[in-house]
Amino acid sequence: MKTPSSRRLSFDPWLIPAALLPIIPVVALLRPGIAATSDGLVHLLRTLQVAELMKSGVFYPQWAPDFYFGYGYPFFLFYAPGAHILAACLALLGLGVVRSLVAVQVASLVLGSTGAYLAARSLFRGLARPAIVSMAALAAAALYDFTPLRMRELFSQGNLSQLLALSILPWCLWALLAVARGAGKGSRAAAAAAVAR
């Protein structure tokens, strides 16, 4: 007989198709270069700036010294650099800046679809048999992953930070649902961290 803690730790096989949902946009992203989007080049330059700052020991930048013709600008005081720090870390590990941006985009897609699946499964839990709940949650994840707004962020607007934020949103819902159902201190801490992002 499974205890509640062992049920929580068991792997849900439906997470695999949820993670594979964005395969079509991922294949489109894996072409050489980056997608020609409105903000794509801007995020490339921001990631380059953050990578250069990280090389010199600044791990959470506020000032962008190379912006505005080398005069500098306090850009990262009003624009959170989280997505750029993630891409810069990958670039400094040898992936290169362009491939790092693509890797963050791919990770955002997978993060969004798996988070939407888990949130929907948690929301639908108890309404039907577990297999039906899992299928409904997978459909919800597909609807979330292929919303026009996410596809616009990916292939038209190209705002890396917004794409990553949209991918964290279902994880916030999942964590908050766990807290609402009386989960332990770990879930409360996870919910607080997810919402604080």
- In tens digits, the chain (197 residues) has pLDDT values of 444 444 455 788 999 999 999 999 999 998 888 888 999 899 999 999 999 999 999 999 999 999 989 999 999 998 989 999 999 999 999 999 999 999 999 999 999 999 999 999 999 988 888 889 999 999 999 999 999 999 999 999 999 999 999 999 999 899 888 888 776 667 677 777 767 65
Contact residues for 146 (Cβ-Cβ < 8 A; gap 6+): 21
pLDDT of 187 reads: 66
State residue 9's pLDDT score: 56
- DSSP code of 61? -
User: What was the pLDDT predicted at 6?
Assistant: 44
pTM of the model: 0.86
∠ at Cα 145 (139, 151), nearest 5°?
Answer: 140
Q: What is the pLDDT of residue 182?
A: 75
Report which of 8, 62, 25 is spatially closest to residue 186, judged by C-alpha positions: 8
145 CB-contact burial (10 Å; exposed 0-12 / middle 13-18 / buried 19+): buried
The length of the chain is 197
Cβ atoms of 82 and 161 within 8 Å: the answer is: yes
Amino acid letter for position 182: G
Bridge partners (DSSP) of residue 73 are: 64
90 CB-near residues (< 8 Å, 6+ apart): 99, 100, 103, 104
* Res 128: pLDDT: 85
